[in-house]
A and B are shown apart, each in its own frame.
Chain A
Amino acid sequence: DAMVIQNPRYQVTQFGKPVTLSCSQTLNHNVMYWYQQKSSQAPKLLFHYYDKDFNNEADTPDNFQSRRPNTSFCFLDIRSPGLGDAAMYLCATTRGHTAGNQPQHFGDGTRLSIL
């Protein structure tokens, strides 16, 4: 059974129209991450939550926001998507900060297309 679930698998939105991607987890992990992966590139960390503490990467555009209403759910909001935001968005979780012996647990990803 999937333990990190992302919805939807595929999302199409219009240029400039706000969109929300969701991630839920049944692992009770306290850290949740959002990555952006463009074709043939390395997954790029956008931000992460350590419990309720939000940690934004320095180069994450202001267009990207996140919410974590509880341990199980985390949302990625893109306020005004541009063509350059078309990508695969991956959610991942760990228990505690990524310690040396703990891998990240990923969802299947949401592929976002912008028309």
Chain B
Amino acid sequence: ILNVEQSPQSLHVQEGDSTNFTCSFPSSNFYALHWYRWETAKSPEALFVMTLNGDEKKKGRISATLNTKEGYSYLYIKGSQPEDSATYLCAFLDSARQLTFGSGTQLTVLP
């Protein structure tokens, strides 16, 4: 069983604050790292798929970095808005093409 850990488990921030959270995964047999945003009553939506060590991806106010050698990825949200409130899931894809999800970071942005 692969260990994919996300921290913190939950997070409350004020509107306008910037925030970040972490996904840790095995540093061996890496193939890709996925980030998804899951809003309540909606389907998980893909944010980023990252494949190369040192990758940085950006989508609006959200960005992510990847360190495959040490086995972590950070997701950053700049100037959080209430509509950013969601659970953010990361998923580790290994060389056998097995996708293992973390349990997510639940973000609440307070107006």
B44 to chain A, nearest CB (A): 4
For chain B, residues 26 to 59, give those with C-beta under 8 angstroms from any C-beta of chain A: 31-32, 34, 36, 41-46, 49, 51
The verdict on B99 contacting chain A, using a C-beta distance below 8 Å, is yes
Q: Which of A12-20, A69-77, A94-102 contacts B (4 or more CB under 8 A)?
A: A94-102
Q: Which one of A4, A92, A100, A102 has the highest number of Cβ atoms from chain B below 10 Å of its Cβ?
A: A100
Please indicate the chain B residues that have their CB under 8 angstroms from the CB of A97 in the complex: 97
B79 to chain A, nearest CB (A): 25
A73 to chain B, nearest CB (A): 17
Question: How many interface residues does chain A have, given as a range?
Answer: 20 to 34
Q: How many interface contacts (CB-CB < 8 Å) are there between A and B?
A: 55
B32 close to A100 (CB less than 8 A):
yes
Please indicate the chain A residues that have their CB under 8 angstroms from the CB of B99 in the complex: 45, 98, 104
A77 to B32: give the CA distance in the assembly, Å.
31
Given the known inter-chain contacts A40-B9, A106-B43, please indicate yes or no for A101 contacting B32, CB distance below 8 A.
yes
Please indicate the chain A residues that have their CB under 8 angstroms from the CB of B46 in the complex: 103-105
The verdict on B89 contacting chain A, using a C-beta distance below 8 Å, is yes
User: CB-nearest residue of chain A relative to B4?
Assistant: A42
Given the known inter-chain contacts A90-B44, A108-B41, please indicate yes or no for A103 contacting B36, CB distance below 8 A.
yes
Cβ-neighbour of A41 out of B41, B45, B103 (below 8 A): B103
The verdict on A107 contacting chain B, using a C-beta distance below 8 Å, is yes
